[in-house]
């Protein structure tokens, strides 16, 4: 009997509890919860394979690892053409070996960087002519415009649609006060969308700056405003995700006190 979405989510939750990292990303979870018909699922109570579009996920419960179940799930997958991607949430040697054995190459590194709230620098004053405020209904079109231009070459973030935005804003964690925006007249120039995972854990969810407004210090401005918002909400640690080869962003975050541990690396593999 095929696994249900509820069983898949339960396996993912149990795996996260042991590994300390979620095996499925946010977009995958949203699809499972809201559009499960878009997902192909196979496996059993020991683990599952999941295909959504061109992204593959393989998840095996801790007690069933080391006996080749991941390989079995991979071989049972539907057709996986060249260009299909899969994430290893953590730089896992077993995942790397499985990928290499079956013709997948390492193509992206997504770093997790963290810093404590203690010692957080204050935000600078906004430049003349720039109005900073929280998100308000009616800002959606400008938010999507800046997002699409700021992330034009980003495989996931740049493709956010109005429906995707509404879906995320309908999540229980969404807080309009935590979506900091910077405007010049009626034009949005930059934003920082924060996310509070728990009472103690906050995230720099998305920072976007209109390419036409770069080099004006707005990225650092909205980043610090968002960090201080999370601090005022009571979190003790803040984390973020950044492409490992995005040197300007990494330098910005390092300058703000964020650091990375080698284990905090997510690896994307692409089928050749």
Return d(Cα 242, Cα 103) in angstroms, integer: 26
For residue range 49-86, what is the model confidence (pLDDT) as tens digits? 999 999 999 999 999 999 999 999 999 999 999 999 99
Instruction: Count how many domains the chain has.
Output: 2
Find the domain containing 53 and state its range.
5-110
**Domain boundary pick from 44, 75, 110:** 110
**CATH code (residue 48):** 3.40.630.30
For residue range 209-268, what is the model confidence (pLDDT) as tens digits? 999 999 999 999 999 999 999 999 999 999 999 999 999 899 999 999 999 987 789 999
Q: Which residues contact 161 (CB under 8 A, 6 or more apart)?
A: 144
Return d(Cα 47, Cα 63) in angstroms, integer: 10
Same domain, 188 and 134: yes
Q: Looking at the domain assignment, is residue 16 inside a domain?
A: yes
User: Binding site: which residues?
Assistant: 26, 58-60, 156, 195, 203, 207-209, 241
- Report residue 156 CA to chain centroid gap: 9
Same domain, 13 and 42: yes
Mean pLDDT of 6-20: 96
User: Binding site for acetyl-CoA: which residues?
Assistant: 58-60, 207-209
Same domain, 102 and 152: no
Q: Looking at the domain assignment, is residue 265 inside a domain?
A: no
Same domain, 176 and 143: yes
Same domain, 90 and 181: no
> Model's pTM, two decimal places?
0.91
């Amino acid at each position: 009997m095929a696994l249900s979405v509820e069983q898949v989510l339960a396996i993912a939750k149990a795996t996260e509890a042991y590994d300390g990292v979620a095996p499925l990303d946010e977009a995958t979870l949203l699809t499972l919860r809201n559009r499960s018909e878009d997902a192909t699922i196979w496996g059993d109570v020991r683990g599952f394979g999941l295909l959504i579009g061109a992204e593959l996920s393989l998840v095996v419960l801790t007690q069933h690892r080391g006996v080749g179940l991941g390989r079995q799930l991979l071989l049972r997958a539907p057709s996986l053409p060249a260009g299909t991607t899969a994430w290893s949430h953590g730089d896992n040697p077993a995942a790397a070996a499985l990928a290499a054995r079956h013709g997948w190459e390492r193509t992206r590194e997504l770093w997790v960087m963290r810093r404590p709230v203690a010692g957080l620098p204050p935000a600078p004053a906004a430049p003349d002519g720039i109005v900073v405020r929280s998100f308000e209904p009616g800002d959606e079109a400008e938010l999507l415009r800046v997002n699409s231009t700021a992330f034009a070459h980003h495989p996931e973030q740049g493709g956010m649609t109005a429906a995707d935005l509404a879906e995320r804003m309908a999540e229980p964690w969404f807080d309009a006060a935590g979506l900091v925006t910077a405007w010049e007249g009626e034009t949005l120039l930059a934003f920082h969308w924060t996310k509070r995972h728990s009472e103690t854990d906050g995230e720099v969810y998305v920072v976007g700056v209109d390419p036409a407004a770069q080099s004006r210090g707005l990225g650092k401005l909205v980043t610090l405003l968002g960090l201080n918002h999370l601090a005022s909400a009571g979190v003790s640690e803040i984390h973020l995700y950044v492409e490992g080869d995005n040197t300007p962003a990494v330098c910005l975050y390092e300058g703000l006190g964020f650091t990375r541990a080698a284990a905090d690396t997510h690896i994307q593999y692409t089928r050749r």
